[in-house]
Amino acid sequence: MSFSILLILLTNFVDGFNILVYSPSIGNSHQNFMGHLADTLFDAGHNVTLLVPIADEKQRNKLGIKTTKDVILVEHDEIGKQRIHLPDDSTAILWTTEFHAEDIDASFEHFNNLTVEACANFLRNKQVFEEIKSRNYDVVLVEPLSMCGLAFAHKLGLKRVILTISCTYFDYVSTWIGEPDEYSYVPALTSQSTDEMNIFERYNNLKMNLFLRRNMERMFDKEQIVYKSLLGEDVPSWKELMPAASMYFTNSNPFIDFPRPVIQKTVAIGGISVNMEHIRSQELSEEWNNVLGIRNKTMLISFGSVVLSRYMPIEYKSNLLKVIESFPDVTFIWKYELEDTAWAKHVSNIYFSKWVPQTALLNDNRLSAFLTHGGLGSTTELANCGKPALMVPIFGDQDRNANMLSRHGGAIVLKKTKLGNYNILRNAIETIIYDKTFSENAQKLANILENQPIKPKELVIKNTEFVAQFGPFPKMDPYSRKLNFIQRNTFANSHQNFMGHLADTLTDAGHNVTLLVPVADEGRRDKTSVKTTKDVVYVDQDEIARTNIVPVDDSMGVYWLEKFKPEDLTDSFLWFNNIMTETCANLFRNSAVFESMKSRNFDVLLLEPLSVCGLGFAHKLGIKNFILTTSCTQYDFILPHIGETIEHSYVPSTLGQFGDKMSFLERYENYKTALYMGMNLEKLFDEEEEIYQSGTGGEIPPWKQLLPSSSMYFTNSNPVIDFPRPTIQKTIPIGGISVDMEYIKSRKVPEEWENVLNLREKTMLISFGSMVKSKEMPKEWRDNLLKAVQLFPETTFIWKYESNDTKWADHVKNIHFSQWVPQTALLNDERITAFLTHGGLGSTNELAYCGKPALMIPIFGDQVRNAKMFIRHGGAIVLKKEDLSDYEIVKNSIRSILYDDTFKQNSKRLSKILENQPLKPKELVIKYTEFVAQYGPFPNMDPYSRQLNFIERNSLDVMFLYHTYSIIITFVFIILAKLLFSRFKLTMRVKKTI
């Protein structure tokens, strides 16, 4: 399908990896999930082994696989047979048990003991260890319900590990992998709340998280004692093994789940167990076709395979039966585990079965609704099949799953205790069957899932292959893990180039793309960088704008000597604010452009939030589907307004001057930089809001409402290169979209440059970009650089210099000046040894993809951040611009980058990783833009955190309540102890007196 798109301008497959899937027999849902992963990778042509340490004997044959053939079962040895005790089969108690945080230790006692003993049993089997070691696995998949598999993998020497989570997420894992715990609006794994919580619900949510984490960490500590005793003390602690994983697969789908911040190593593969192609191919038997044909409406009832219907309390069962009887026009199919159903023989519209073809029924149009317990498997199936549901959670993560799905308007959630209330239960069933709103919303969600840009299966295969070939990725480990609680909580051609590349990418994909260019700087009017997009609409400056706008080039030379101070940001950006507001006013004065754009009926809009003028313009046009795009790695001033956290303590600000490892004073400066930048931009946005509202009679909403309503958020960040940071699911990193390596590799270097490149054994390219020009460099710095160049006569230095006046360098023979250079063609040439660059993001991405070592000298803006980001990968040296005044520093830096092969090797490795990343930026742009055009906007992907104030967002009130409660309990205990002791002393005195 082709879409009409408006932009406002301001793997290779690798065959046959050896893959180990570690899946202890601990529970149906966990084993099914790991089995689906094994089959997915096996069907993709890889050699997959499913390793199953037997924990629960009853689960030994429930492997969840269909096509994977290589299965290794690790049986109980004699010690294991004596120590591993299985629980009573009965789960009847769960029907009536109310689950509280304080009950977690008791509820998980059996699981904890079983896991520890099963770990010891597994690791005692030396034969299995030797067998697995001999197979030379490339990557291992392990679920962090246990640390035993991680220790086993480490002892085997397997460094490439993927953590897999069969639930939507394990909140007890988040802290250890560097993801923030968001108690205030993200329900815990076992929470009974939604994302909209009052203080007491947030308090309980916090307790659920803390108690479960404490329980699991105690179990992991016990496992650690076991694996160190059996594998050796040299095996690291689980706190080191867990964050060393290359990727984290979670059984969460971003279009269903509660929005929450995740790091770049987290890959959401929710829905991997749902094969809609297979489900649609299933044919129902004659028996089931007859059942579905009895009445116009049919409802399926199933409470899963763990908590059985036969154990339902008699009062619940009788009430449900009574309600069923009150709907004689509806057939109720009830999955019931006993043949004895005499208690319901008087009800004619019920059909009992010990087994049901659940997915085939859910896919059948004759099934009207589903009454389910909310297991994640069933929840995902009904979401993909588009069926409305009455969800009655029983235990575990089922409350969270039910509340997650109900947000989309296709489900009703009842507490299990309400099964005994006739009126409530009857009204719920009547609503879910007869209110078409629920079926419409359920079908809408199913359509979104069916057409999601990247399918779970594709994510699993591509990311596993990527890890197998290039993992691990230590630079993707966020520095936040090394911070304590107090520490942690604390414009230009590049923009036009970025938007131009987006336009061309979508044009080349077959869409009708219009590039709308409000001319802010007349000197850059024609520098749109588009190659294939033909429909370009310029909004030229009128007389008022020409009078009021200060040309950009007149303002840029000062940045060579200007020292960055957060407090100076307002003054530094006066020129920028002037241009933005005047350009905005100029756009809204041009009614002809508005009418022209309105007549084209655009499906989706892409715009960069350096200005909110485009948002107002889009709203006036009636465009509801829009994508925010950032030509920098991030705009931290935008993050709070879209619901992302600003992590000042370890994520450098857009204009930050430091890396991710910051001292206290550096964190303070980083915080100030983000704060002042935010204040400046918000002031600009307020001024633009006045402009667009005055031109439309105030009918356009404030920018603070428009900004978060975007369907997606494209950032010019590459997760492989950038600092790791938590992002929401609407954030799509497309860093590298402007680097077309296929095109770059096809270009031939012109003959002039061939001659230059052949002059000497080594060649270094020098370019400070197009904004702050080399010709304006202070003379002392320029002469120092020239002196250093002269010291390396065996190296040719190509210097992009914007003036023909180069007499000051006539005496230096190994330098070649040019006002323009074919930068990408040169960077791709093996004869270029290194690159001296300012660190603009475009140049940084180009040298990363081309695999060239660099000496980076940032001048202004985000260039310092880009350089600090890139140096982490070991392929660059970063100097402050003031270092150009120190000859020794410049000389030694050039020598190192030219002659130390370590920089070259690291650069080549990064280039190889980027070339083979699982999902290419171009693919992401096309698929997500098409998806937004067809199905956006997505209000349910908007995090509820935006509605919370500072105290609520950071759970300060909840922590106060939690600690106050603890203090009160402690105080009362002390008082009681004193009273008892006093009474005891008094009693003793009386006895002595007697």
| pLDDT, tens digit (0-9, with 9 covering 90-100), for 504-516 | 999 999 999 999 8
CA distance 310 to 344: 13
Which residue ranges form the domains of the chain, and what is each CATH number?
A: 18-245 (3.40.50), 283-450 (3.40.50.2000), 489-555+570-656+671-733 (3.40.50.2000), 741-917 (3.40.50.2000)
Q: Tokens 């050896």, residue?
A: 18
Q: How many CB atoms lie within 10 A of CB 289?
A: 12
Task: Determine the 3-state secondary structure of 652 from DSSP.
Answer: coil
The CA-CA-CA angle for residues 212, 490, 868, to 5°, reads: 105
For residues 606 and 502, is the Cβ–Cβ distance under 8 A? yes
Q: What is the pLDDT of residue 29?
A: 85
For residues 123 and 77, is the Cβ–Cβ distance under 8 A? no
Length of the chain as a residue count: 994
Single-letter residue type at 336: Y
Single-letter residue type at 950: F
Of 538, 536, 526, the closest CA to residue 503 belongs to 536
Cross-strand partners of 70: 49
CA distance 530 to 536: 9
Beta-carbon-side half-sphere exposure of residue 433 (alpha carbons within 13 Å): 21
Q: Tokens 């304080």, residue?
A: 102
Q: What is the pLDDT of residue 11?
A: 38
Of 364, 313, 362, 305, the closest CA to residue 337 belongs to 305
Taking each helix axis from N to C end, the angle separating 493-508 and 921-935, rounded to the nearest 10 degrees, works out to: 70
Predicted structure pTM score: 0.83
C-alpha dist (Å) from residue 718 to 223, 614, 894, 920, 942: 37, 26, 27, 10, 23
Which of left, alpha, beta for 16 (phi over 0: left; psi -120 to 50: alpha)? left
Contact residues for 213 (Cβ-Cβ < 8 A; gap 6+):
171, 172, 175
Single-letter residue type at 561: L
**Lookup: tokens for 210:** 């803390």
Buried b (16+ CB within 10 A) or exposed e, 87-112: eeeeeeebbeeebebeebeebbeebb
Q: What is the pLDDT of residue 491?
A: 42
C-alpha dist (Å) from residue 707 to 122, 292, 702: 53, 47, 9
CA distance 743 to 754: 19
Q: How many CB atoms lie within 10 A of CB 940?
A: 17
Helix, strand, coil abundance in the chain, percent, nearest 5:
50, 10, 40
Contact residues for 517 (Cβ-Cβ < 8 A; gap 6+):
9, 525, 528, 536, 537, 538, 539
Contact residues for 432 (Cβ-Cβ < 8 A; gap 6+):
369, 388, 389, 390, 411, 412, 438
Cross-strand partners of 6: 514, 605
List the end-to-end C-alpha distance of the chain, in Å, as a whole number. 100
Of 199, 200, 201, 176, the closest CA to residue 188 belongs to 201
**Lookup: tokens for 115:** 């896991």
Taking the CA atoms of residue 152, residue 157, residue 162 and residue 164 in that order, the dihedral angle to the nearest 10 degrees is: -10
Sign of CA dihedral 155, 156, 159, 161: negative
C-alpha dist (Å) from residue 784 to 657, 715, 818, 887, 905: 24, 37, 19, 6, 29
Sign of CA dihedral 772, 775, 779, 784: positive
For residues 680 and 577, is the Cβ–Cβ distance under 8 A? yes
Cross-strand partners of 627: 606, 712
Q: What is the pLDDT of residue 757?
A: 95
**Run of H or E including 776:** none
Of 375, 400, 373, 391, the closest CA to residue 432 belongs to 391
**Lookup: tokens for 753:** 């440059």
CA distance 263 to 591: 44
**Lookup: tokens for 602:** 């655009």
CA distance 419 to 749: 76
Displacement of CA 690 from its chain's centroid (Å) = 35
CA distance 284 to 16: 37
Task: Determine the 3-state secondary structure of 943 from DSSP.
Answer: coil
CA distance 189 to 171: 6
Instruction: Please compute Rg for the chain using Cα positions.
Output: 32
Q: How many CB atoms lie within 10 A of CB 162?
A: 25
Cross-strand partners of 266: 248
CA distance 473 to 910: 10
**Lookup: tokens for 55:** 């924990």
**Lookup: tokens for 163:** 């953590």
CA distance 433 to 330: 9
In what side-by-side order are the strands of the sheet with 512-518? 535-539, 512-518, 4-8, 604-607, 626-630, 712-715, 731-733
**Lookup: tokens for 849:** 């993809």
Query: In this structure, what are the phi and psi dihedrals at residue 435, rounded to the nearest 5 degrees?
Result: -85, 110
Q: How many CB atoms lie within 10 A of CB 348?
A: 11
Single-letter residue type at 632: C
Of 549, 544, 559, the closest CA to residue 525 belongs to 549
Task: Determine the 3-state secondary structure of 123 from DSSP.
Answer: helix
10-residue mean pLDDT profile of the chain (994 residues): values are: 55 69 89 94 95 88 90 90 72 83 86 92 94 94 95 95 93 86 87 89 87 92 96 95 94 93 92 92 94 96 89 94 96 93 92 94 96 94 96 93 95 95 97 97 95 94 94 82 56 69 91 89 73 90 84 68 82 82 89 90 91 91 92 89 87 90 90 89 91 81 92 93 91 91 88 92 93 90 94 96 92 94 93 95 93 95 92 95 94 96 96 93 93 90 83 77 79 82 72 64
For residues 591 and 696, is the Cβ–Cβ distance under 8 A? no
Taking each helix axis from N to C end, the angle separating 376-385 and 28-43, rounded to the nearest 10 degrees, works out to: 50
CA distance 730 to 31: 30
